[in-house]
Amino acid sequence: MNLFLHGASDFQVVRGDTLRSPAFFSGDNLATFDCVIANPPFSLEKWGDEVWASDPYGRNFAGMPPGKSGDYAWVQHMIKSMAPKTGRMAVVLPHGALFRMGKEGEIREKILGMDLLEAVIGLGPNLFYGTGLAACILVFRQRKAKDRKNKVLILDASKEFKTGQAQNELLPEHVEHIHHWYRDYKDVESVARVVTVDEIAANDHNLNIPRYVEPKNDQVVLTVDAAMRQLRTSATAAFAAEEKLVGILKREGLLN
C-alpha cells in the first residue's frame, strides 16, 4: 500500500522471516541493492540467534547480537544487502543501539572500524506507530565521499516535529531541515557535529548523541553575586510571610 501511495510501480513484495530465511538472492548469495531502507521492530526478542551462529550468508561478520535484541542483526543483514560500490542504507533504531555495550558494543566497534557509518540522526519522540520512544536513523554508505572518510555526522534533530494529540508528526519543513543539515555535513551549534572515528573510539565507540552535540541551554546563568541577592530576597519574603501567618494564628486563638 505504501509503495502504491508513493507512486512506485516496479516492486516485488515477499512475506517471510528476513533474519531466519531471507527472500532475495543472487545465485547462492544475498541479493544486493543500491538503496536499503528499513524500520525494523525495536530490540526484537527471539529474532533468530539460534540460526545465526552458522549463518550461511555471513551476516554475523561483525559479531553475534544478543539473543534478547535483534537490532544489530537487522543492521548486519542490511549492510550485507548493500551493493559493493553504490550501496547505501538507512535504518531506524532505538537510541539504546547507540550506546549499549557488551555484544552490541563489540559489533558497533567493528562496524565503525569498517568506516561505513556516515551519519547518526536523532529524532523526536512518538513519531512511529507502536512506540512513544524517540528513535534514531543510522545512515551507511559503501563508498563515502573523500571528505567524509573516517568521520561521522552526529545530528540532533529531536526538536524537529509537530506535536499531535495521539502521535507527533514530521512535517515537510522538518524533513527539509534534517536533509539540509545532513547534506551540508558540517558543525551546527547545538544541532550537528562532524566527529572523527578516532574520537568515537576514545569514547568506547559510544554514539550517544549528547556526548557530541550539546543541547542549547536557554536558561540564564546567574553569577554568584546575583544568586546570593536572589537568595536574600527570597529569605526576607519567607520570614515576612511566616510573621504574617503567626499573627493570623494568634488573632484566631490558634496559637499562644
Q: What is the 3-state secondary structure (H, E, C) of 173-198?
A: HHHHHHHHHHHHCCCECCCEEEEEHH
Give residue 177's pLDDT: 97
Give residue 9's pLDDT: 83
At 147, list the grid cell.
571528505
Question: Do 102 and 76 touch, CB atoms closer than 8 A?
Answer: no
Sequence-distant contacts of 247-255: CB under 8 A, at least 24 apart? none
Give residue 240's pLDDT: 84
Give residue 220's pLDDT: 63
Q: 2-211 belongs to which CATH class?
A: alpha beta
Q: Is the pTM higher than 0.85? A: no
Question: Do 79 and 117 touch, CB atoms closer than 8 A?
Answer: no
CA distances from 130 to 42, 46, 135 (A): 10, 19, 12
Give residue 255's pLDDT: 73
Q: How many CB atoms lie within 10 A of CB 37?
A: 12
Q: What is the mean pLDDT of each run of 10 residues along the chain (256 residues)?
A: 84 91 92 95 94 93 96 98 96 96 97 98 89 91 97 96 89 96 96 97 97 78 79 84 80 75
Give residue 96's pLDDT: 95
Give residue 190's pLDDT: 94
